[in-house]
C-alpha cells in the first residue's frame, strides 16, 4: 500500500435518492464498505469515498460501514437546529449520528419542493454551524456555453453562502456541479464543458477565504468511463443510478487508480 495522502486527489460519492428499499440499501452499503476496505485507491488515500442514503437508513448504513474509509452523508437537513418542525431532521442530530456531509440545493429539491435561494442559504448555514460539510448542488437549467453556465453556478454558490457569511460561518464546501439538463439524461455533459465550468467554480471557491479546502465534483449522468474521459481534470464524481451496481463503483475506483499512478503522495 502506498503512503496515504493528506488530501485525496479524487472524491467519489453516491446518492441513492429513493431508489432502494431499506434492505437493499444496507446490502449495497455493506458491499461498498468491503470494496473500500480492499481497494488500493481508497486505502492509499487517493480517493475519498462517500455515500448518501435515505434518512431511515443512516444509522444502519453507518453501522454497516464500520471500519470502512467511507464518509456518511444525508440527502437533506433542516435549516433549524431544533423545534416544532414535523418531519424535518436537524444538523445537530445528523452530526450526532456520524454524518459529515449533507446534500443541499439539488435540482429536484428546487423543482419538486420549491426550495429557493433563501432556503438553500439557510440550510447551508445550518450544515456549517454543525460541522457538516455542505454538499452543495449547483447547475444551469438550460444548456448554455460554459462561460454562461459558470456565471450562473457561481451566482448560485454566492446565494447559498449569504446566510453563512452574515453569521461568520466558515468551513469547506463540496460543490457538485450538476447541469440540470444533464440529470437523468442518457449521457453526461461534454467533457470540455464540464472541465471549463468546474475550473471556473474552483477559481471562484479559491477566492473565498472562509471556505478554504473546498472541492468540486461533477454529477449529472456521471458513470464509469467519465473520470477517464475527463483526464483527471475534475476533483471527482457525484454518482446516481449508474452506481447502483457496486461493480460500477469499483470500475470508477480503478479509473481513479490508473489516473493517480505516478502522482506524488
Catalytic residues: 106, 178
| Helix, strand, or coil (residue 158) | helix
The answer to whether the beta carbons of residues 103 and 73 sit under 8 Å apart is yes
Q: What three-state secondary structure class fits 173?
A: coil
Of 112, 226, 248, 210, residue with least CA distance to 177? 226
What are the beta bridge partners of residue 175?
136, 216
Cell numbers for 228? 477517464
Q: How far is CA 137 from the centre of its chain?
A: 8
- If one counts every other C-beta atom within 10 angstroms of the C-beta of residue 190, the result is 13
Pairing of strands 215-219, 174-177: parallel
Cα separation of 183 and 144, whole Å?
Answer: 15
In this structure, the strands spanning 10-15 and 47-52 are parallel
Helical spans, DSSP H, in the chain: 22-38, 40-43, 58-64, 91-96, 107-113, 117-129, 146-160, 162-167, 191-206, 226-229, 246-260
SS3 assignment, position 239: strand
- Give the Cα separation of 32 and 13 in Å (integer): 11
Amino acid at each position: 500500500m502506498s503512503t496515504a495522502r493528506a488530501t485525496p486527489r479524487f472524491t467519489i460519492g453516491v446518492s441513492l435518492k429513493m431508489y432502494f428499499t431499506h434492505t437493499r440499501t444496507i446490502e449495497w452499503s455493506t458491499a461498498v464498505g468491503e470494496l473500500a476496505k480492499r481497494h488500493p485507491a481508497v486505502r492509499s488515500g487517493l480517493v475519498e469515498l462517500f455515500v448518501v442514503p435515505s434518512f431511515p437508513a443512516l444509522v444502519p448504513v453507518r453501522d454497516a460501514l464500520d471500519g470502512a474509509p467511507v464518509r456518511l452523508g444525508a440527502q437533506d437537513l433542516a435549516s433549524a437546529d431544533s423545534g416544532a418542525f414535523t418531519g424535518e431532521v436537524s444538523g445537530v442530530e445528523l452530526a450526532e449520528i456520524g454524518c459529515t456531509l449533507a446534500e443541499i440545493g439539488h435540482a429536484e429539491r428546487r423543482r419538486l419542493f420549491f426550495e429557493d435561494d433563501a432556503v438553500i442559504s439557510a440550510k447551508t448555514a445550518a450544515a456549517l454551524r454543525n460541522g457538516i460539510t455542505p454538499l452543495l448542488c449547483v447547475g444551469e437549467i438550460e444548456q448554455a456555453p460554459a462561460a454562461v453556465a459558470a456565471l450562473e453556478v457561481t451566482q448560485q454558490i454566492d446565494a447559498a453562502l449569504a446566510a453563512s457569511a452574515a453569521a461568520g460561518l466558515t468551513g469547506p464546501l463540496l460543490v457538485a456541479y450538476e447541469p440540470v439538463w444533464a440529470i437523468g439524461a442518457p449521457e453526461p455533459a461534454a467533457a470540455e464543458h464540464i472541465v471549463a465550468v468546474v475550473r471556473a467554480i474552483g477559481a471562484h471557491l479559491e477566492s473565498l477565504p472562509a471556505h478554504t479546502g473546498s472541492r468540486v465534483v461533477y454529477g449529472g449522468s456521471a458513470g464509469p468511463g467519465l473520470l477517464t474521459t475527463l483526464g483527471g481534470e475534475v476533483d471527482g464524481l457525484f454518482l446516481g443510478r449508474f452506481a447502483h451496481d457496486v461493480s460500477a463503483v469499483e470500475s470508477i475506483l480503478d479509473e481513479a487508480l490508473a489516473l493517480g499512478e505516478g502522482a506524488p503522495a
